[in-house]
Amino acid sequence: MLRIGIVLYPGFQLLNLAITSVFEFANITARERLYEFVLLSESGGPTLASSGLEVITRPFDGQTFDTVLVVGDNDVMPATPALTDFLRASASTARRVGATCTGTFNLAQAGLLDDKRVTTHWMHVAKFRREYPRVKLEDDRIFVIDGSIWTSAGATACIDLALALIEKDQGIDLARLVAKKLVVYHRRAGGQSQFSAMLDMEPRSDRIQKALTYAKRNLNTELSVGELASAANLSPRQFSRAFREEIGQTPAKAVEHLRTEAARLMLESGRHPIGTIAKDTGFGDPERMRRAFLRMYGLPPQVIRRERRIAPDALLKT
* Residue 195 binned pLDDT confidence (cut-offs 50, 70, 90): low
Domain of 57 in residue numbering reads as 2-182
| Same domain, yes or no: 173 and 210 | no
| Same domain, yes or no: 121 and 225 | no
DSSP label of 249:
S
pLDDT in tens, 215-250: 989 999 999 999 999 999 999 999 999 999 988 889
Which residues contact residue 36 at a Cβ distance below 8 angstroms, ignoring those fewer than 6 apart?
Answer: 1, 2, 3, 4
Q: Does residue 286 contact residue 301 with C-beta atoms inside 8 Å? A: yes
Query: Which three-class secondary structure string do you get for 178-208?
Result: HHHHHCCCCCCCCCCCCCCCCCCCCCCCHHH
Q: What is the pLDDT of residue 278?
A: 95
Q: Note whether residue 187 is domain-resident.
A: no
Q: Final residue of a domain: which of 182, 197, 219?
A: 182
Q: What is the pLDDT of residue 310?
A: 37
User: How far apart, in Å, do the first and last CA atoms of the chain sit?
Assistant: 20
Q: Note whether residue 283 is domain-resident.
A: yes
Question: How much is the average pLDDT of 288-297?
Answer: 88
Q: How many domains does the chain have?
A: 2
Q: Looking at the predicted structure, is the pLDDT value of residue 84 above 90?
A: yes
| Same domain, yes or no: 37 and 166 | yes
Q: Does residue 281 contact residue 259 with C-beta atoms inside 8 Å? A: yes
Which residues contact residue 74 at a Cβ distance below 8 angstroms, ignoring those fewer than 6 apart?
Answer: 11, 13, 50, 102
* Residue 198 binned pLDDT confidence (cut-offs 50, 70, 90): low
Query: For the whole model, what pTM was predicted?
Result: 0.67
Phi and psi, residue 135, nearest 5°: -90, 140
| Same domain, yes or no: 281 and 178 | no
Q: Note whether residue 14 is domain-resident.
A: yes
Question: How much is the average pLDDT of 290-297?
Answer: 87
Q: Looking at the predicted structure, is the pLDDT value of residue 11 above 70?
A: yes
Q: Give the H/E segment covering residue 88.
A: helix 81-93
CATH number at residue 113: 3.40.50.880
Q: Note whether residue 106 is domain-resident.
A: yes
| Same domain, yes or no: 176 and 265 | no
Share of the chain above pLDDT 90, in %: 71
Give the residues across from 67 on adjacent strands.
4, 96
Q: Note whether residue 197 is domain-resident.
A: no
| Same domain, yes or no: 21 and 65 | yes
Q: What is the pLDDT of residue 41?
A: 97
| Same domain, yes or no: 268 and 155 | no
| Same domain, yes or no: 223 and 128 | no
Q: Final residue of a domain: which of 182, 216, 240?
A: 182
| Same domain, yes or no: 105 and 33 | yes
Mean pLDDT across the chain, nearest whole number? 89
Rounding to the nearest 10 degrees, give the CA dihedral for residues 50, 56, 60, 64: -110
Q: What is the pLDDT of residue 309?
A: 54
Q: What is the pLDDT of residue 194?
A: 54
Q: Note whether residue 259 is domain-resident.
A: yes
| Same domain, yes or no: 267 and 129 | no
Q: Note whether residue 266 is domain-resident.
A: yes
CATH number at residue 231: 1.10.10.60
Q: What angle do CA 47, 49, 55 make, to 5 degrees?
A: 45
Q: Looking at the predicted structure, is the pLDDT value of residue 294 above 80?
A: yes
DSSP label of 99:
E
Region of poorest pLDDT, from 205-209, 219-223, 313-317: 313-317
| Same domain, yes or no: 176 and 294 | no
User: Which burial class, exposed, middle or buried, applies to 26 when counting CB atoms under 10 A from its CB (0-12, 13-18, 19+)?
Assistant: buried
| Same domain, yes or no: 175 and 31 | yes
Q: Note whether residue 143 is domain-resident.
A: yes
